[in-house]
Amino acid sequence: MKHLTKIGTSLLIAGIFLGTQTASAQDDDTLNMALSVDPDGLDPHRTTAASTFQITNNIFDTLVKVTPEGELTEGLATDWEISEDGLTITFNLRDDVEFHNGEAFSADDVLYSFERLKADESPRANDFANITEINVIDDYTIEFVTENLNASLASDFAYPWTAIVLEENEEELRNSPIGTGAYALEAWVPQQNLTLTKNENYFDEVHIDTVEFTMMPDATARTTAMLSGDLDIVGVSGDLVSQFEGNDSFQIIENQSNAVQLMAMNLGNEFLSVPEVREAINLAVDKDLLIESVFWGYGEKIGSHYPPVLLGYEDHSEAYAFNQEEAVAVLEEAGFEAADITLDMYLPSDYQSYVDAGQIIADSLENIGINVNIEVVEWSVWLSDIYTGRDYDLTVVGHTGRLDPYVLLARYHSESSENYFNYNNERIDELLTDVQTELDEDVRYEMFSEIQDTLAEEVPALYIQSPIGLSVTQANVRGYESYPIDIIELKNIYFE
């Protein structure tokens, strides 16, 4: 009993102490955000993680920027010019920019950054292999010479991985990066918090002084913190958004993303190489039900590898509409007995929604008699064995969107290293080669439309949906916009 009294007394004392403290009032100069995934280092040239770019994009600048509508606008470059043959692009740079350490920004930094981006160990080396020459004309003028014509050349300089870095910072880019961006890194304790402070010398308006990111891996913890006012902006999934609906203290922002989620099929498999089998698989799955049950309805149904928000979208969402009887008939007509078909489905454990979607698809396929073995694998194994090794029959995954449809579709070229479908269609190869050099926009979009039609018909994948991203902000947050490339522009955000 003595024990208990002691504990009781100490709790009481603790309570008295705490009673004197009041909850800190909301600070107008600090924006509080949560991160569900820790950045994998802050080196923009050595990562592919969208969550990392959401931070680095505010520390670094790119030559070209994108508006929420997807148009290109000035960044570190005030304007640019493409030569008549379309092979050379010349940028005029701002002359009033400083890095966070006071170092002046010039064309040499651009040269250094792009050489680093093109280095062998860079994940983007391939994307920029087309640039054969980079010439510094003077301190504030630089030109890029390309080997093959690329109709979407300027947009290549807007992605967050084309960030301009400082050479003397190379050794520390991963943990204490120095950029020219609207915010400078103040502190980063991995898995704990990351603080950005306003760059007072920034060439554009920046509203909020401090942005504090707290790492919160658990979704319930994030929504709870949002509800209690500890956070100003948070991304939520469809199942948790209902907690904020109808509450005036919050704004819910829907963002139709340009990502594509699909179930890939390996055409190297003897059954999946037959178009009728793939057709039957498409017929067997109720996509509406899938989107409703796995993504809580927050998604736009698709029928080809093309998000509805991208210019030139063709609606194939009703192709092979759900009809399991027809699926069985198609299989029988092609001479297959469903029960003879057994497929191995691999699902990435890091992405719960893909695992859930895979299980529902597997159920649907078992309904028409196809046997499916599910194996859940770690993301690292997925990358090495499934994606690169192409050792699978079925897998569910998402592909992030791009500004130019070519980059999105290039993986369907029979010789692409990213063609994990093992898809092979001569006409598609031809179109993908020609579209790169075609300068007439109308003709290019006709080509994209033909590729979409072919993919929708031959279905090397079960195209599921283009997801709708959901964010919740406190009612007084303004200027939080979504962009066609996965970035957040913190400088535009302010409190009302």
Partner 1 sequence: MRFILSRLLSGVAVIFVVSFITFIILMMIPGDPALLSLGTEATPENVEALRDAMGFNEPWYVQFLEWFTSFISGDLGRSYLYGEEISTLILQRVPVTVSVALLSLLIATPIALFIGVIAALYQNKLPDVLARTLMQIGDAMPSFWLALLLLVYVAAGSSLFPISGFTPISEGFIDSILSILLPSFVLSLGLMGTMIRIVRSSMLIALKEDYMLLAKMNGISKFKTIVKYPLRSAIIAPLTIIGMQMAGLLSGVILVENIFSLPGLGRLLLVAVQQRDLFLLQGIVVVIVSTVVIINMITDILYRLANPTMRIGGRDE
* 381 lies in the site for partner 1, by CB under 8 A: yes
* 26 lies in the site for partner 1, by CB under 8 A: no
- Give the shortest CB-297-to-partner 1 separation in angstroms: 24
Distance between CA atoms of residues 301 and 337, nearest Å: 30
Among residues 202 and 354, whose Cβ is nearest to partner 1?
A: 354
- The residues in 153-172 that bind partner 1, with binding defined as CB under 8 A, are 172
Among residues 337 and 417, whose Cβ is nearest to partner 1?
A: 417
What is the size of the binding site for partner 1 (CB under 8 A)? 58
* 18 lies in the site for partner 1, by CB under 8 A: yes
Binding residue for partner 1 (CB under 8 A) from 215, 355, 374, 376? 215
Comparing CA positions, the residue from 282, 301, 281, 283 lying closest to residue 291 is 301
Look at the chain and count its residues.
Answer: 496
* 438 lies in the site for partner 1, by CB under 8 A: no
Distance of CA 202 to the CA centre of its chain: 27
Distance between CA atoms of residues 55 and 489, nearest Å: 9
Binding residue for partner 1 (CB under 8 A) from 45, 46, 100, 287? 46
- Give the shortest CB-193-to-partner 1 separation in angstroms: 7
Say if residue 79 is exposed, middle or buried (CB neighbours under 10 Å; 0-12, 13-18, 19+): exposed
Distance between CA atoms of residues 186 and 183, nearest Å: 9
- Give the shortest CB-156-to-partner 1 separation in angstroms: 14
Stretch that binds partner 1, among 259-267, 278-286, 375-383, 479-487 (CB under 8 A): 375-383
Distance between CA atoms of residues 59 and 70, nearest Å: 21
* 221 lies in the site for partner 1, by CB under 8 A: yes
Which runs of consecutive H residues, i.e. helices, occur in 410-463?
A: 426-437, 441-458
Among residues 172 and 363, whose Cβ is nearest to partner 1?
A: 172
Binding residue for partner 1 (CB under 8 A) from 74, 103, 127, 356? 127
Residues paired with residue 340 on neighbouring β-strands, in sequence order: none
Comparing CA positions, the residue from 94, 230, 75 lying closest to residue 154 is 75
Among residues 187 and 439, whose Cβ is nearest to partner 1?
A: 187
* 334 lies in the site for partner 1, by CB under 8 A: no
Over the Cα atoms of the chain, what is R_g? Answer: 25
Residues paired with residue 166 on neighbouring β-strands, in sequence order: none
- Give the shortest CB-233-to-partner 1 separation in angstroms: 15
Distance of CA 291 to the CA centre of its chain: 19
Binding residue for partner 1 (CB under 8 A) from 45, 47, 162, 306? 47
Give the C-alpha distances (Å, rounded to integers) separating 325 from 276, 282, 339, 368: 14, 12, 15, 8
- The residues in 133-152 that bind partner 1, with binding defined as CB under 8 A, are none
The helix or strand, by DSSP H or E, that contains position 407, with its residue range, turns out to be helix 405-409
Binding residue for partner 1 (CB under 8 A) from 399, 453, 468, 492? 399
- Give the shortest CB-351-to-partner 1 separation in angstroms: 12
Stretch that binds partner 1, among 46-54, 62-70, 137-145, 253-261 (CB under 8 A): 46-54
Which runs of consecutive H residues, i.e. helices, occur in 73-145?
A: 107-117
CA-based end-to-end distance of the chain: 55
The DSSP result for 180-211, as a single string, is: SSSEEEEEEETTTEEEEEE-TT-SS----SEE
Binding residue for partner 1 (CB under 8 A) from 128, 202, 244, 387? 387
- Give the shortest CB-306-to-partner 1 separation in angstroms: 18
* 189 lies in the site for partner 1, by CB under 8 A: yes
* 118 lies in the site for partner 1, by CB under 8 A: no
- Give the shortest CB-354-to-partner 1 separation in angstroms: 14
Distance between CA atoms of residues 30 and 495, nearest Å: 10
The helix or strand, by DSSP H or E, that contains position 166, with its residue range, turns out to be none
Binding residue for partner 1 (CB under 8 A) from 200, 205, 228, 248? 228
Among residues 274 and 410, whose Cβ is nearest to partner 1?
A: 410
* 249 lies in the site for partner 1, by CB under 8 A: no
Q: Could you tell me which residues come within 8 angstroms of residue 163 by beta carbon, excluding any fewer than 6 positions away?
A: 44, 45, 56, 57, 59, 60, 61, 62, 113, 179
* 193 lies in the site for partner 1, by CB under 8 A: yes
Count the Cβ atoms, other than its own, within 10 Å of residue 123: 12
* 404 lies in the site for partner 1, by CB under 8 A: no
CB distance 477 to 233 below 8 Å: yes
Among residues 321 and 383, whose Cβ is nearest to partner 1?
A: 383
Distance between CA atoms of residues 45 and 61, nearest Å: 13
Binding residue for partner 1 (CB under 8 A) from 109, 230, 314, 489? 230
CB distance 285 to 301 below 8 Å: no
Per-residue tokens: 410 = 């290039």
Binding residue for partner 1 (CB under 8 A) from 55, 59, 142, 173? 173
Binding residue for partner 1 (CB under 8 A) from 106, 224, 269, 353? 224
Among residues 183 and 387, whose Cβ is nearest to partner 1?
A: 387
Stretch that binds partner 1, among 70-78, 367-375, 385-393, 443-451 (CB under 8 A): 385-393
Binding residues for partner 1, rule: CB under 8 A, are 3-4, 14, 17-18, 23, 38, 40-43, 46-49, 119-127, 172-175, 189-193, 214-218, 220-221, 224-225, 227-228, 230, 350, 378-381, 383-385, 387-388, 399, 417-418
